[in-house]
Amino acid sequence: MSYSEIDDLIKTAGKKIGLARDEITQIAEPQRIIAVNFSVKMDNGKTKIFKGYRIQHNNARGPYKGGIRYHSEVNLEEVKILAALMSLKTAVINIPFGGGKGGVEVDPQKLSTNELKRLTKAFARSISDVIGEYKDVPAPDVNTNPTIMKWFRGEFEKITGLNTPGVITGKAVRDGGIKVRDEATGLGGAAVVREITKTLLKQKPENTTVAIQGFGNVGNHLAHHLEHLGFKISAIADVTGGVEHEDGLDYHKTLKHIKSGKKISETCECSVHGPSKDCCIVGAQEVLERKVDILIPAAIGDQITPANAGKIKAKIIVEMANHPVSAEAEKTLGKKGIIIVPDILANSGGVLASYLEWRENVEGKKLEYNDAVEYLTKRMEKAIREVQKVAKREKVTLREAAYIIAIMRISKSLSK
Ligand code: NAD
C-alpha cells in the first residue's frame, strides 16, 4: 500500500461530505513527523546509531494512539500509512483517540535482551517530549511486547518523575494492563463476522465456511471465537502452509497439535471432525483462493493483489491484517461482487481494548473481564451496522462508508 491510496480514499470521502480542499488536506497529512537518530551501547562495548520514527497523524479527537514496531524494514512511508490508518480506525470505532505510529529500524532478533532494553530506553528518551498519557500513547506492534512496553514506561517515568501507567497500553496485567487485550483484535473480528453473516449472507454460522490466512495473535484468537460462535473453519494457514477440510476443521485439535510443536500442515489427520473425512494440505497463498463464504486475511499486508484477485472465490473478505487487499485488486473483486469489510473497521478491536486499558489507568474506570468482552462486542457490532447504513445510503462500498464516517467525525472535532 502507498500513502497515495489512503490519500485518495480520504479525498473521495472528504468531497462526498462536502469538505473544502484545505480541510481535507488537514486530515490527510500527518500533523507531526518525528525522525530520530539515537545511540545504544552494545554488549561489545561499542556504540551503534539507530533510526526511529514517531508519526503523529491527527489528534483532533484525543491523544495520538498507535503502536511501536521494531523491524529492519521500518521506514517513514510505512509508519506514515499506519499512523493515518490509526486516526481513521479510532474515529470509525468512535473512541476519544487520534492516530499515531512509531518504529525503529532494527532486527530485534539480532540483539541480546540487554541490548533490546537499552534500545527501548534510548528510543523512549528520544521521543519523551512528545509522548504522554494525554498527548500520545504508544502500544506494542510488530516485534514489540508487554515487556518492551514496561521498559518504555519505566524510562518515561524516570524522565518525568510521574507515575503514569496510561502513557502506554498493551501492558501485562500485573503492570496495569487488562486481560482482554491479548484476544481483543480477534474477538472484535469475530463480532464483525457474526454480524455480516446475519445481515449480508443472511445465514447461520453453522452453515458458514471460513478460511483464515495467518495464525498468530489475531488469527488464533479469531479462530477460537469463530469456532465458539459455531462457524465452520474450513481452512487455516500460516507462513509455513496449512490445512483445509470443506466440512470444517476441528480447530481445537489443530491448535493442540500446533502447541505440541507441529506445523499447521502437519496436523491434517488429527484436525478433522471424524476419521473418514478428507483433509488437504494448502499453501500460505493457496488458502486465499479457497471456495468459502468468508475469507479472512490475518497475516500481513498486500496479500491480495491483481496477481491473485481473479482467483478469489469467497463471497466476503474481512480484512483483519492491515491493508491485505491492494486498491487495484479491490476493483477486480468489486466486479466479481465480492464484499470487503475494511481493516479500519474489522481489526479495531485491539485499539478498543487499549482504550479500556487507558481509561482504567487514567480515570480508574475498571471493567471486569466479562463486561469488557461484552463492551467490545457491542461496540464492534454498532460500528459495522453504522458502516453498513452509510454504505446503503450513499451507495458506496463498506470501505468508502467507513472512510466517510471517520472523516466526518475527525472534521467535526477539528472545527470545534
Ligand atoms: P503475528 O506476528 O502474531 O502473526 C502473523 C501470522 O501471519 C503468523 O501466523 C505468520 O506465520 C503469518 N504469516 C506471516 N507471513 C505470512 C505469509 N507470507 N503468508 C501466510 N501467513 C503469513 O501478528 P498478529 O498480531 O496476529 O497480526 C496479524 C496482522 O493483523 C498484521 O497485519 C497486524 O498489523 C494486524 N493487526 C494486528 C493487531 C493486533 O492486535 N495484534 C491489531 C490490528 C491489526
- Ligand 1 close to Cβ of residue 188 (< 6 A): no
> Hey, what's the cell of 77?
512511508
Torsion angle in degrees (nearest 10) through CA of 311, 317, 321, 325: 50
- Ligand 1 close to Cβ of residue 397 (< 6 A): no
Contact by Cβ (8 Å): 181, 354: yes
Q: What is the pLDDT of residue 257?
A: 85
**Distance (Å) from CA 121 to ligand 1 centroid:** 26
- Ligand 1 close to Cβ of residue 214 (< 6 A): yes
Q: What is the pLDDT of residue 277?
A: 60
**Distance (Å) from CA 130 to ligand 1 centroid:** 29
Q: What is the pLDDT of residue 252?
A: 82
> Hey, what's the cell of 412?
467535526
Q: What is the pLDDT of residue 276?
A: 42
**Distance (Å) from CA 172 to ligand 1 centroid:** 20
Which of 142, 217, 323 has most ligand 1 atoms within 8 Å of CB, for mutation?
A: 217
Strand partners, 56: 32, 100
Q: What number of other Cβ atoms are within 10 A of residue 261's Cβ?
A: 7
Q: What is the pLDDT of residue 267?
A: 82
> Hey, what's the cell of 152?
518504555
- Sites in the chain below the pLDDT cut of 70: 269-278
How far apart CA 212 and CA 318 sit, in angstroms, is 10
Q: What is the pLDDT of residue 275?
A: 44
First to last CA, the chain: 32
Name the residue among 323, 236, 330, 246 with its Cα closest to residue 284: 236
**Distance (Å) from CA 223 to ligand 1 centroid:** 13
- Ligand 1 close to Cβ of residue 284 (< 6 A): yes
Give the residue numbers annotated as catalytic, written as ranges.
101
> Hey, what's the cell of 11?
479525498
Amino acid at 198: K
Strand partners, 70: 104
Strand partners, 237: 213, 242
Rg (CA), the chain: 21
- Ligand 1 close to Cβ of residue 216 (< 6 A): yes
Query: Could you give the 3-state DSSP secondary structure of residue 29?
Result: coil
Which of 238, 264, 323, 357 has most ligand 1 atoms within 8 Å of CB, for mutation?
A: 238
Q: What number of other Cβ atoms are within 10 A of residue 163's Cβ?
A: 9
Give Cα 281 distance to the centre of its chain: 27
